[in-house]
Amino acid sequence: MATYGQKEKLMNSPPPLYKGYAFDLDGTLYIGEALIPGADRVIRELRKSGSRVVFVTNKPLETSAAYAEKLTRLGIPADANDVVSAVDALILYLRRYHPDAVILPVAEEVVISEMNDAGFTTTPDPELADLVVVSFDRTFNYDKLNRAYHAVRHGAAIVATNPDPYCPTPTGGLPDCAAMLAAIEACTGVTAEVIVGKPSVHMAEAFLDRLGVPADQAAMVGDRVLTDVAMGVSAGMASVLVLSGATSAEQVNLSNLRPTHIIDDVRALLGT
């Protein structure tokens, strides 16, 4: 969090009302199982004003329905169609560029199941794989790294879900997809052909279609400069950086990316 003096330098005028909002989840609306104070009222008031709202997350550890259930439980009514995750962007990308690929997943079961449900074939055999899909994976181990290494050595390409180095938690965070991807890229010498989550165009396409509002009339609200702010910039949206999650005042000052608005937390969207 910024100190008082730093806040005075960073903060600008309260954001205007936009026709659409894409909200990041972790660090923006909640941390762990705790709602950011006032986040429920912010979403309620924005919806009441007529603004469209979607929820956008790079975290591929739950289904959209599970994220919607969590939001609803925390006081923000949502259904699965309101949530766009990096897995939605992944499926969109795979259908377009690798529709017949046999995939070796470095991922948790929820991601594997969603790929299978979308009609893709997955395999643990490196020699059968056309593609290695890398995700945030709390079961990552040497065996998975070794299988990915051999798949890439046999010619498989690499696709990753998200570029986040860590995921914020109440206890200080967990290594995220970028850590798994770095290990695979390091041993193979091969770079991922794409990272489909924020801030990629594939993620923008997935959630702007769901939002139904022109990009220049919408705002991306999140707690990370390199994903949320960059997402807003690349998609032609306004960007609203909140200082309630992963980004500190010092990190904002060191970044070349400048958000359209910088606020302490989402309550400032209502001028409070």
Q: Report yes or no on 225 lying in a domain.
A: no
The span from the CA of 107 to the CA of 113, in Å, is 10
Q: Report yes or no on 181 lying in a domain.
A: yes
CATH assignment of the domain containing 181: 3.40.50.1000
Q: Report yes or no on 132 lying in a domain.
A: yes
Structural domain including 137 reads 98-195
Q: Report yes or no on 35 lying in a domain.
A: no
Q: Report yes or no on 128 lying in a domain.
A: yes
Instruction: Name the pTM for this structure.
Output: 0.82
Q: Report yes or no on 121 lying in a domain.
A: yes
Q: How far is CA 87 from CA 24, 59, 63, 113, 256, in A?
A: 15, 8, 8, 11, 28
pLDDT score for 244: 77
Q: Report yes or no on 191 lying in a domain.
A: yes
Q: Report yes or no on 22 lying in a domain.
A: no
pLDDT by residue, tens only, the chain of 272 residues:
343 344 444 455 678 899 999 999 988 999 888 999 999 999 999 999 999 999 999 888 888 999 999 999 999 999 999 999 999 999 999 999 999 999 999 999 999 999 999 999 999 999 999 999 999 999 999 999 999 999 999 999 999 999 989 887 778 788 999 999 999 999 999 999 999 998 998 998 888 988 999 999 999 999 888 889 999 998 999 999 988 766 666 766 666 778 888 888 899 998 76
Per the structure, the count of domains in the chain is: 1
Neighbouring C-alpha atoms within 13 Å toward the C-beta of 152: 26
pLDDT score for 15: 86
Q: Which two tokens stand for residue 93?
A: 């990308």
pLDDT score for 256: 72
pLDDT score for 13: 60
